[in-house]
A and B are shown apart, each in its own frame.
Chain A
Amino acid sequence: MKNEQPSPDSEWMRTLVDAHAADLTRYAASILGDSESAKDVVQESFIRLWREPRQDVADHVRPWLFRVCRNCALDARRKGGRMRPLNEVDTATRPAEGISPEESAEQSDSHAQVMGLMQRLPENQREVVRLKFQNGLSYKEIASVTELSVTNVGFLLHTALNTLRAQVAVTGE
């Protein structure tokens, strides 16, 4: 009988989990509003990766994982009535980072401020901003993740940045 030896695939998988799982979980949580369900979704994404021939995905694993993770998360959100999708309910502020301009008087932290403003963007803009600036994906990769055209991604990012800049200018020092 054959014995246990770490297969190259499981080693590969481990490095992938180490490299991407946390980012994926954060991303899925931004869709689901709940880190526990996000973990389930990320696990599902890795399970799907096992089923994919390695050579087919090896050179673009990160965008591939983001796309699968996004689809799983959207599925879960559609199915799971119990999870309140944070982003759909209300595009207004999210408490941790979300601070309305009136309340920001005492808030000197510009990071938190821009995060707060970001929460008010439409969901599709917020998503591309997140993929670009939090997860470092390129326009092309974002396009493959979100199933939008590259031009469309460029337009969304452009609009989002303009909106944010305008608001920072209004509320800023």
Chain B
Amino acid sequence: MKISKTDPRLTAYAFGEIDDTNERTEIEQAIAADPELQAEVENIRSMGTLLEAGLDVEAVPELSEFDKARMEQSPVPQKKASPLRWLISWPAATATIAAVFALMLIPQLDRIKMSLPENIMTSDPEEVTYRELQVDIPPELIEGTPMPIKVPGLEPAATEAPRIMVAESGNEASYTVNIQQRSKSTPLPRQQSIAVNNPSELDIPALDIEVKVEEGSAYGRGFGAVGGGLSAVREMAASDAAPAPARLRPNVPKPEPKQGWNTEKYDPIEDTDFRSPLVAPLSTFSIDVDTASYANVRRFLNQGQLPPADAVRIEELINYFNYSDAAPTEALEDGGDPFAVHMAQASAPWNPQNRLLRIALKGYEMPWEDRPSSNLVFLLDVSGSMNSANKLPLVKEALQLLTRRLDQRDRVAIVVYAGASGLVLPSTTANNTDTIEHALNNLKAGGSTNAGAGINLAYKVARKHFIEGGNNRVILCTDGDFNVGQTNRGDLTKIADEQAGEGISLTILGFGMGNYKDDMLEDLSNKGKGSYAYIDSRAEARKVFLEDLASNIFKIAKDVKIQVEFNPEQVQAYRLIGYENRRLKAEDFNNDKKKAGDIGPGHSIVALYELIPVGGEVDLPGVDALRYQKQAKVERVHGEIATVKLRYKRPEADTSRLITRTAQSEDMVHFDRADEDLRFSAAVAAFGLKLRGSETIGDFSYPQIERIATDALAKDPGGHRSEFTELVRKAEKLSE
């Protein structure tokens, strides 16, 4: 038999796929007789090996314990054809039942209806009256083999588990309910055992579910990633202390149709209280030029939701806006200062007895043509989770905006990461616009994320093309869903920290929602010493890459720290609004090894202090008099509120310079007479405090905030301030 080189059987033979013995023998003989065919088979096999190896590199999606548990679980059992109706005592059982259902039926959650019947069954006055919760499950969900749900790592000890046992019966009668509190000496608050019995005494158990609904630990471990839906469950589980029946409906966990499981993550923010300058005379913090929180808050409000309190970082809200504070006019190379410092005071709008101290920094507005050469490495997350209209397409657009403004002095490279990471655009000068556009246009999302390998590669490319004295920067575009490989937050931030030390900064652009890991990105950008912006729309992409481009990708000063010393003769107590995660120790201020935030050209950075003047009403926890030290003597310095000190370094310098300013008591004006920038930043601060649920501004209302902002729109280039007033209105509606 003669076999041609292109016969498909040759391929089949090479992989041992010829089952027919005769046929195999024939092919074998043909190959033995023809060295060309032998070479062909060898080539086919080596291609197969190459493919196996190549496909093997493609990352296997990481399945969490929860994913696996979900896959292992059997369909909801019960062979009954008619809807199953459970009557269960309210309130004790509700929480448990709801939790059980949520866990059991996660994909079909929306198909189960729970309702309170209109008429409450009256019974013997001696007996406890039960309110009943009816649970209707569509019959098609009730089939298959009864199986316990197993969630590894969550399996409760047998005696502690709340358990629901439903007896199956041929008749349709309603079920009576027994609730037994399984307790030893003290009742366990959220661990009830519920038995639902059939009055007909037909004792055929059909359903046996074990779920641990203990608060805290269970969610913390196994379900950490399931945010939204389960937190509703958690709320229910926690609200078993006799809630009003009316609360039942809103509490029923209802999956949001579009968003699916919300697994966004935010680090907690603790509001700072007023402090006495006698106890803590110095307030020290690093500047923060991020704006991500504002865009993220806006995204929530535009979606018709109030943002979670921890997503609101007030300093990022305030610094989102541009203020008209004067910038230094002298060019940097002529020895000019990189930024100007402005201070102003006015009464606090929410409490006229208190005063606001506004400290504003304004970066030198470097002409675009004077900018340093840039070596930019874009690190793009192209994992599956980036595959939506508000993510990857926006990234592309944003990068196109940016690269169009660069030229032959600048270098651009693109590294992508997903299942594997790779260099899709080797570092090339920015005037090769066609090459860059081509690379951008060919980006497609898919696969899971291994940010670690991508970050390493990006820094490697950046180091290779390092520009001495230039702007060397990795720009990470991601939704922050690092789910494969080096996902350890500590490891990633360590890399960013080290590379920042070597002169490569990290700018972070956050995209998307639902799975947004704000905590991680904020931390990374702080360590990587770059700015962190959140891009939720085309308009925001334009703001970041056109209006504020220079501020976001260049720096004119680094390690900028602020330390304020308050005069106890004037100030009884003070608090810094925002900057909670930027606080520094007092001694870090003069320590040049201690890093802090960078300032870019034209950046506006504003910090607001609220001060309670001496004589004001405040109840502060004091400290006892020291036994081994003399209390520092208060110097009587009249007329001074505070001394504001700033330290910064030139981008290439190792030692810091000091700027000192004094805030004079007499500079205070009534709030209405303060300038627009102070009034507007106060409105933004109040808005942030309000969204964070802070009680420190009393019952100051959204309409009041809106009015202040509307009066302080000023010129409003870009319309950002008007947009703010709309957000205030939205928040007001949502909080009604």
Interface residues of A (CB under 8 A from B): 1-4, 6-7, 9-10, 13-14, 17-18, 21-23, 25-26, 29-30, 33-36, 38-40, 42-44, 46-47, 50-51, 82-84, 86, 89-90, 92-100, 103, 105-107, 109-112, 114-115, 118, 129-130, 132-134, 138-139, 151, 154-155, 157-159, 161-162, 164-165, 168
Contacts and interface: CB of A to CB of B under 8 A. Distances in A.
Given A21-B68, A35-B61, A139 B12 contact: yes
A22 B58 CA distance: 12
Contact of A26 (B47, B60, B195): B60
A95 B57 contact: no
A35 B148 contact: no
Given A36-B385, A134-B56, A161 B422 contact: no
B446 A29 contact: yes
Contacts, number: 216
Given A10-B150, A35-B447, A86-B446, A95 B50 contact: no
Interface in B36-77: 43-44, 47-48, 50-63, 67-68, 70-72, 74-75
B97 to A, nearest CB: 18
Contacts of B631: none
B145 A99 contact: no
Interface string B1-42: 000001011111001010000000000000000000000000
Contact of B53 (A34, A111, A159, A168): A111
Contacts of B52: 133-134
A100 B442 contact: yes
A96 B447 contact: yes
Given A29-B446, A96-B422, A34 B74 contact: no
B388 A82 contact: yes
Interface of B: 6, 8-12, 15, 17, 43-44, 47-48, 50-63, 67-68, 70-72, 74-75, 107, 143-145, 147-148, 150, 158, 165, 195, 203, 205, 208, 210, 260, 380, 382-385, 387-388, 416-426, 439, 442-448
Contacts of B423: 106-107
The 5 closest A-B pairs by CB, nearest first: A158-B8, A134-B55, A96-B418, A158-B11, A111-B54
A19 to B, nearest CB: 11
A1 B60 contact: no
B68 A17 contact: yes
Contacts of A22: 60-63
Contact of B61 (A39, A111, A159, A165): A39
Contacts of A83: 387
Given A10-B150, A96-B418, 10 more contacts: A6-B148, A25-B61, A26-B59, A34-B385, A34-B387, A36-B385, A39-B70, A86-B387, A97-B419, A111-B57
A24 to B, nearest CB: 9
Contact of B442 (A39, A46, A82, A95): A95
A96 B51 contact: no
A111 B271 CA distance: 52
A103 B439 contact: yes
A51 B76 CA distance: 11
Contacts of A164: 47, 51
A26 B71 contact: no
- Chain A interface, >50% SS class: helix
B416 A1 contact: no
Contacts of B9: 154
Nearest to A46: B71
Contacts of B53: 111
Contacts of B62: 22
B46 to A, nearest CB: 9
A1 B260 CA distance: 37
Contacts of A165: 43-44, 47
Contacts of B388: 82
Contact of B8 (A10, A114, A154): A154
B420 A97 contact: yes
Among the interface residues B6, B56, B445, B446, which one has the most CB atoms of the partner chain A within 10 A?
B446
Contacts of A151: 8
A51 B147 CA distance: 12
A95 B419 CA distance: 10
Contacts of A29: 61, 384, 446-448
Contact of A50 (B10, B75, B195, B208): B75
A167 to B, nearest CB: 11
A115 B384 contact: no
A154 B12 contact: yes
A162 B447 contact: no
A65 B332 CA distance: 66
Given A93-B442, A133-B55, A33 B387 contact: yes
A10 B73 CA distance: 8
Nearest to A152: B8
A155 B721 CA distance: 64
A33 B72 contact: no
A150 B244 CA distance: 65
Given A7-B147, A94-B446, A129-B51, A155 B420 contact: no
Contacts of A4: 148, 158, 208, 210
A132 B14 CA distance: 13
Contacts of A26: 58-61
A39 B195 CA distance: 34
B436 to A, nearest CB: 12
A2 B203 CA distance: 10
Contacts of A43: 70-71, 107
Contact of A10 (B51, B57, B74): B74
A47 B104 CA distance: 13
B107 to A, nearest CB: 7
A73 B631 CA distance: 73
26 contacts: A18-B68, A25-B60, A25-B63, A34-B387, A35-B384, A35-B385, A39-B67, A42-B71, A46-B71, A90-B444, A92-B444, A95-B418, A95-B422, A95-B443, A96-B382, A96-B420, A103-B426, A106-B426, A114-B51, A115-B57, A129-B55, A133-B48, A133-B52, A134-B58, A154-B17, A161-B48
B586 to A, nearest CB: 47
Nearest to A130: B55
A48 to B, nearest CB: 9
Contacts of B144: 50-51
A58 to B, nearest CB: 15
A112 B385 contact: no
Nearest to B167: A1
Given A7-B147, A97-B422, A103-B424, A161 B11 contact: yes
A105 B70 contact: no
Contact of A33 (B11, B148, B446): B446
